[in-house]
Each structure stands twice: as structure tokens, then as C-alpha cells.
Amino acid sequence: MKTSIELDNVTVVELTGEHDVTLKALEQRLGCEVGLRGNIISLEGDDVEVRRGEALIGELVELIGAGHLINSETVASVGAMMGDEGRPAEVLGDIVWENRGRKIVPKTINQKKYVDAMRSNTITFAIGPAGTGKTYLALALGVSELLTKKVNRVILTRPVVEAGEKIGFLPGTMLEKVDPYLRPLFDALYDMMEPDGLTGLMERGSIEVAPLAFMRGRTLNDSFIILDEAQNTSPEQMKMFLTRLGFGSRMVVTGDITQVDLPDARFSGLVSVVDILEDVSEIAFINFESRDVVRHKLVQKIVAAYKKYTANQR
């Protein structure tokens, strides 16, 4: 089967990419021949692949029309979503945070569900492997809501759990000792904001990064609160954290129950909370899978291999 798609010149330039890199990624993704003559793209191959190619190009054209830059990663993301519920252009068109022309958007259907859940629920639990954007998207939404004055503070916290190294032997004050445990949160923030702006917000207390133990006894009003690495909380710590919820606040709890650093994984607060709160309204649970990993494609294969190995061991 052979078909042709005529596009305007601007769209063709965006869709093909520099040195036709994007067009080559499209051909590799589809498994059919993709040709370009002037402003006409031709598809030739198996009927199913050609029809799929037409649909994929239609989604990419819609993204270009909405102002999105198209590259080989975009082709991969859109291609992976084809056939799932929800249209790729709608998923990738949901801008969670934008800074200096850089847009942070969901890249999978589950990520889109996650963003929607955070917006519409008081507490959202995101459970799944590393690299699925659980923490990053929560931070992006929190920063967006802070700067648009929907909340007064963004509070980021993690349990400080020793994994092979005793914290008492680390140099410095208590805050300096826990800094390595909180560093991934700082790294993500610096990736989204200018250093001077972030420093100013932290000095004013608008953004707070602290160990989970520092949350005890507080009531957190008008805040966007993120608990990261929640698989390393005890049931008591999880209850303590959730009951910090104040008026006008929302919470996001992220974790991977396959990477528990506690002495006994059965007593992880994240493992137990699913059974305790699954029927409570205004609380959402989003479960990510290996196909939602948006890091290097090899990470997705590693996660899937470990999941298969663990299942065999059981």
C-alpha cells in the first residue's frame, strides 16, 4: 500500500528535523518506507503500518501546530502511545511547567493520568519503578502552582534511611549529614528553575526541602507537599506524614515498593497504605510500569528484567 500526505512548508521542516533525523526515526518506528518530495510525505509498505503511520504523522502535525518541537524522542513517545486510551497529542500537549521555552509534559498515558490525578485529588500516591517521572512531574506541578499563587509553599521531604553507610560517620552538622539524601530533590529543582530564583524562594520559605523527621508536629496549610522514596517509611511514619495535611493543601507520595531499604520490606509504610486507604475518597493511586520509564531506553529493559527475575524467584 502507498499513500501521500501533503503538508505546508513550515510543518514539513519541523517534522523532518535537521538532516532528516526525525524523518529517519519515524521510518524506523513504523517499519515502512517513508519518503519526502517537496512538501509531500509518502508512506509505502504493509497496509497496517501505513495506516498507523498516517495516524502517527497526524498526531505529530497537531503537536507542531500547538508549538511543540518535534524530535526523535517525540516520535518514540507518540509511537509508544498509539493504540492506548487517550490521544498522544492531548497527552504531550498538557504543559505542566514551562521555563525559558523548555516545556515539561507527560510522556506516557500513565504520566498524563498521574498529572490529572494530582490536580483533582487531595492526596495522590504514585507507585512504580525509577525513571517513570513520579517525582519530577510532582515537582514541576508544585513549582507551577507556587508561582501561579495557587499554593503558598512547596514542601519536599524524604525519609533518611541508611543504605550501606552510617549517617553518624558523615562529616558536618545534622543538615549537612542529610544533604546527600535530599540532593536528588535539589537537582530536580535546579533543572526546572534559575538558581537565583530558587535560592530566593528557599530563603523566604516558599520552597522547603527537609527530612521526613522534621515534619513531626506540624500542620501544613496552603501547601503542595511531596513525600519522595516513600517505600522507606514505616507505617507509623506514613501515618504521621499523612496527618500533617492542612487546609488548602495537597499531597503527593511517590515510591518504588521493589526498592525498600528497610530491614524488613513487609513493614514498609507504602506497602501497607495501599490496603488501608484504597477505598477512601479524594485519594488516588497511580501505578507505573516499566513501559513508563522515560530515561535511556536501556533502563526500561533493565527494569523489566529485574521484574521478571523477582517474579521467578518468588
Radius of gyration of the chain from its Cα atoms, rounded to whole angstroms: 22
Instruction: Identify whether residues 121 and 262 lie together within a single domain.
Output: yes
Instruction: Identify whether residues 68 and 187 lie together within a single domain.
Output: no
- The secondary structure of 112-147 as a DSSP string is HHHHHHHHH-SEEEEE--TTSSHHHHHHHHHHHHHH
Note the pLDDT of residue 301.
77
Instruction: Identify whether residues 201 and 103 lie together within a single domain.
Output: yes
Residue 177 makes CB contacts below 8 A (sequence gap 6+) with 167, 170, 171
Q: How many domains does the chain divide into?
A: 2
Instruction: Identify whether residues 87 and 101 lie together within a single domain.
Output: no
Instruction: Identify whether residues 140 and 37 lie together within a single domain.
Output: no
With beta carbons less than 8 A apart as the criterion, state whether 127 and 287 touch.
yes
Instruction: Identify whether residues 51 and 193 lie together within a single domain.
Output: no
Q: Is 42 left (phi over 0), alpha (psi -120 to 50) or beta?
A: beta
Instruction: Identify whether residues 17 and 42 lie together within a single domain.
Output: yes
Q: What is the span of the domain harbouring residue 8?
A: 2-92
Instruction: Identify whether residues 205 and 62 lie together within a single domain.
Output: no
Q: Specify the CATH number for the domain of residue 131.
A: 3.40.50.300
Cell numbers given for 226? 511531596
- Enter the pTM of the model: 0.75
Note the pLDDT of residue 121.
97
Note the pLDDT of residue 250.
97
Q: Specify the CATH number for the domain of residue 42.
A: 3.30.1370.10
Instruction: Identify whether residues 145 and 251 lie together within a single domain.
Output: yes
Instruction: Identify whether residues 224 and 158 lie together within a single domain.
Output: yes
Note the pLDDT of residue 126.
97
Instruction: Identify whether residues 49 and 87 lie together within a single domain.
Output: yes
Cell numbers given for 206? 516558599
Residue 101 makes CB contacts below 8 A (sequence gap 6+) with none
Instruction: Identify whether residues 186 and 224 lie together within a single domain.
Output: yes
pLDDT one-digit tens code per residue, 118-154: 999 999 999 999 889 999 999 999 999 999 999 999 9
Angle at alpha carbon of residue 252, lines to 249 and 255, rounded to 5°: 160
Ranges in the chain, pLDDT < 70: 83-86, 161-181, 265-266, 295-297, 300, 314
